[in-house]
Amino acid sequence: MTDALAMTLERANLAAFAQLNAGPGLDGLPLAAALFSAVWLIFLVPASLVGLWFSGQHARRVAAIEALVATACALALNKVIGTLWYHARPFAAGVGNTFLAHAPTSSFPSNHGTIMLTAALVLATFGTPAVRRLGLFLLPVAAIVAWSRVFVGVHWPLDMVGALLMAAAMCALVRTAPARRGTALLALSLYRLLRRARSR
């Protein structure tokens, strides 16, 4: 990335953050709603995957495994990126207003955004209608989570763009033929293993 492009991205990032970050007077119900979105909505992902797994249908179990594998791979890559290239969070850089305590770890890409967007995209592009509907439900929820993390001051807008790109890449990866065969086999093997464990 050239210095000129990096500076352009940073200026756009700062300008977008200034528009999206909450003002210093945020409190009451708006603050509670923003914090709920930033902290708790992400738990819809594990709840959805557990629900798919225990639905009793093989295709839905495969969908849960696909989303889980894609998300795990995305988070592993996020860790590598954060290790190789540290990008300070807004509060660590002394920018904006912060309403949520957070360690000053590298901000890019957002793990919350990555989890929400990866699971939502994988499920929304799955072949089973019920699974696709669940994914389409999670997509706007992911957008709310992404917005709220910027709103309360723990992420930059660029962190969410990075999360979306990572999610799209992982979704494309699990849609390849080898990956689909692998996740289907993993889902079947795990199901049989758990069934044998319960029967003992």
Q: Are 114 and 75 in contact (CB under 8 A)?
A: yes
**How confident is the model over 182-196, as a mean pLDDT?**
89
pLDDT of residue 3: 79
pLDDT of residue 1: 54
pLDDT of residue 199: 72
What digits encode the pLDDT tens for the residues 116-139?
999 999 999 999 999 999 999 999
pLDDT of residue 135: 97
**How confident is the model over 37-63, as a mean pLDDT?**
95
Q: pLDDT over 70 for what percent of the chain?
A: 99
| Both structure tokens of 38 | 């930033």
pLDDT over 60 (residue 70): yes
Q: How confident is the model at residue 7 (pLDDT cuts 50, 70, 90)?
A: confident
